[in-house]
C-alpha cells in the first residue's frame, strides 16, 4: 500500500447551475431545479487525471426529489446552451441507482447507502 494518498479514485459531484424551469414529476410544480453532475475520477497527488462515469441529475427545488437526465442534455446545459428540461427528460431514479437522496442539511446528493452524510456528517436515516 505504498501509493496511498498519491494515487486514488474518488467520487465527486458538482453543482453545474440552477435550471430556471422544470416541471417536477414528483410534486408537479413548475419550479427551479439544480443540475448536478457526478463523476468518478482518478487522481495523482490530488490532481484529477481523468474522469469517467459522468452522470447528470436534476434536483427539484421544491420537493428535493432527484431525477436523472440524459448525458447529452446535461452536457449541453453545462456548455451554456439554453436547453429546456421538459417533463419527459426527467427520469425518476429507482432504488437500484446509487444516488437517491439529498442531504437536507447541505443539500448535496448523497448515495443512499450512507447513514451519515459524507459531506457534512448529518444523519440521513
- Pick 29 or 70: Cβ nearer Zn ion: 29
Which of 119, 104, 16, 95 has its CA nearest to residue 58?
16
- E strand intervals along the chain: 7-23, 30-44, 47-60, 66-69, 91-92, 99-102, 109-111
Binding residue count for Zn ion, defined by CB under 5 A:
14
Task: Choose one: 4-12, 21-29, 32-40, 49-57; the region binding Zn ion (CB under 5 A).
Answer: 21-29
| 60 lies in the binding site for Zn ion (CB under 5 A) | yes
Q: Degrees (nearest 5) of the Cα angle 33, 96, 63?
A: 25
What is the smallest separation between the CB atom of 65 and Zn ion, expressed in angstroms? 5
| 24 lies in the binding site for Zn ion (CB under 5 A) | yes
SS3 for 103?
coil
Question: Which of 21, 30, 70, 105 forms a contact with Zn ion (CB under 5 A)?
Answer: 105
Question: Which of 13, 15, 23, 63 forms a contact with Zn ion (CB under 5 A)?
Answer: 63
CB neighbours of residue 57 within 10 Å? 25
Q: Which residues bind Zn ion (CB under 5 A)?
A: 24, 26-27, 60, 62-63, 65, 103, 105-106, 117, 119-120, 122
Amino acid at each position: 500500500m505504498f501509493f496511498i494518498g498519491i494515487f486514488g479514485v474518488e467520487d465527486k459531484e458538482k453543482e453545474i447551475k440552477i435550471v430556471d424551469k422544470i416541471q417536477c414529476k414528483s410534486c408537479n410544480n413548475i419550479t427551479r431545479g439544480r443540475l448536478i453532475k457526478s463523476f468518478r475520477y482518478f487522481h495523482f497527488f490530488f490532481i484529477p487525471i481523468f474522469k469517467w462515469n459522468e452522470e447528470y441529475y436534476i434536483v427539484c427545488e421544491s420537493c428535493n426529489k432527484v431525477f436523472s437526465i440524459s448525458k447529452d442534455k446535461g452536457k449541453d446545459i453545462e456548455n451554456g446552451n439554453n436547453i429546456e428540461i421538459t417533463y419527459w427528460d426527467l427520469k425518476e431514479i429507482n432504488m437500484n441507482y446509487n444516488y437517491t437522496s439529498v442531504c437536507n442539511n447541505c443539500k448535496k446528493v448523497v448515495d443512499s447507502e450512507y447513514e451519515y452524510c459524507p459531506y457534512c456528517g448529518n444523519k440521513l436515516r
